[in-house]
Chain A
Amino acid sequence: MTTEQYAHPEVLVETEWLAQHLHDPNLRIVESDEDPLLYDTGHIPGAVKVDWFTTLQDPVRRDFINQQQFEALCSSLGIANDTTVIFYGDKNNWFACYAFWLFEYYGHEHLRILNGGRQKWLQEARPITREVPVYPPTDYRAKPPKRDIRAFREDVFRHIETGGALVDVRSPQEYTGELLHMPNYPQEGAMRGGHIQGAVNIPWAMAINPEDGTFKLPQALRDLYQGKGITPDREVIAYCRIGERSSHTWFVLKYLLGYPQVRNYDGSWTEWGNLVGAPIEKGAGPS
């Protein structure tokens, strides 16, 4: 039996492949977790850490690090323009996809996700270490931000007018407006609960096999999104609360299913739910 391929299978690497290539000098393994201490408890040998909060966000502006800061980050991690960067992390690669998205935003060309992430690596009892590697700095040159993978709020307003597809990847309770945050998380962040007008709810974790953290196969993924009207002929914007969970869905739609036009709205519900004049809906479905 042959398994159908993802649209861009080259963006995924399997744990076995990585185990054979740990010392490849053209690779840099990057761990990006939700828990800021997890890397320090043990990581894949040779891997460096980026923390989505303290490393990838500007401490003052509400925005990511800018192009110069991104260049300095890559240089300090020993990432050159031709380095293949492999991301992995906890929570089914949620923050690994977030880092991947930001690296693509600044034009890095050789990006991969470790299928199954930290969970699968540990389940297979593969080696981990506490040794923090240091690599010689590089002279990294980033490209100007790639706007076509990032939606700002004005893009979302336009998107609603033109009937573009919107995917809300939060939990069903956040989508309906019952909760302002994930179940079991503190309730905070937005004045109102609900979803962006017209958005359909497909929680991000539905793209994952829970037993080993790997992505579902192409047909299952297609059924999941197309069954809710998120089809490749439409322009798609994904959002969540602050743009982290939706970068996971962005990755699935763009790279695993090959949708040509997918953007991540990182302002997400914390911005839209507080924005004066922004149309929202409450309840179980788009009206």
Chain B
Amino acid sequence: MLPQRLAEIVEDFRLCQGREKLELLLQYAESLPTLPDHLKEHLNEMEAVPECMTPVSVMAEWQENGAIFHFAVPAESPTVRGYAAIIAEGLRGATPEEILNLPSDFYIAMGLQDVVTSQRLNGMAAIVAHVKRLALVRLEQMNKPS
């Protein structure tokens, strides 16, 4: 089961054909919010996603109604910006459990492998693996006896 917004995004991509998939990904790339001011000065403290070929930093803020992920991705890597925006929007408000239960290959249903190489698709896998790790850390903190 995917969180509802992420399921909608996957479906939107699935319905796009060929070039439309890239155009939609570009829309996401351009929608990636700039970092909120309170994080800009903490860019060095954000965690880098080590598997990504593009320098990607991510920070999770956990609120009562779930996660907010903030990403920093260079402008010259619009594909990775697109992935980051999909994850940020699709998992907004998700609980740590929902994130951990995310199937690691959910994005295959989007069909991006028709328009980008498998190698580029692994950037998405790396981001997903990384937000799962952040969710796991959060869960451990929550379960720690205070």
Contact = CB atoms under 8 A, between A and B. Distances in A.
Interface in B30-80: 30, 50-53, 75-80
A37 B76 contact: no
B82 A37 contact: yes
Given A184-B50, A186-B122, A186-B126, A90 B116 contact: no
A261 B45 CA distance: 50
B51 A90 contact: no
A40 interface: yes
B117 A53 contact: yes
Contacts of B30: 41
Contacts of B52: 184
Contacts, number: 52
Interface magnitude class on chain B = 20 to 34
A90 B54 CA distance: 13
A184 B22 contact: no
Contacts of B25: 37
A36 B115 contact: yes
Contacts of A188: 118-119, 122
Nearest to A118: B76
B61 to A, nearest CB: 26
A41 B78 contact: yes
A182 interface: yes
Interface string A165-197: 000000000000000001011101000000000
B115 A54 contact: yes
A185 B79 CA distance: 15
Given A35-B79, A184-B52, A186-B51, A40 B115 contact: no
Nearest to A119: B76
A38 interface: yes
A35 B76 contact: yes
Interface in B78-104: 78-80, 82
Contacts of B77: 35, 38
A37 B126 contact: no
B122 A37 contact: no
A41 B26 contact: yes
A38 B125 CA distance: 21
Contact of B76 (A90, A182, A185): A90
Interface string A45-63: 0000000011000000000
Contact of A36 (B79, B118, B126): B79
A70 B50 CA distance: 38
B8 to A, nearest CB: 22
A38 B76 contact: yes
B125 A186 contact: yes
Given A53-B117, A186-B119, A41 B75 contact: yes
B143 to A, nearest CB: 31
A41 B77 CA distance: 10
A32 to B, nearest CB: 14
Nearest to A182: B53
B134 interface: no
19 contacts: A35-B79, A35-B80, A35-B120, A36-B79, A36-B116, A36-B120, A37-B78, A37-B79, A37-B82, A38-B78, A40-B26, A41-B26, A41-B78, A53-B116, A184-B52, A185-B53, A185-B119, A185-B122, A188-B118
The 10 nearest A-B residue pairs measured at CB: A37-B78, A186-B122, A53-B117, A35-B79, A37-B79, A37-B26, A185-B53, A41-B78, A40-B26, A36-B116
Interface of B: 22-23, 25-26, 29-30, 50-53, 75-80, 82, 115-120, 122, 125-126
Given A36-B22, A37-B29, 14 more contacts: A35-B77, A35-B78, A35-B79, A35-B120, A36-B79, A37-B79, A41-B29, A90-B76, A118-B76, A184-B53, A185-B119, A188-B118, A188-B119, A188-B122
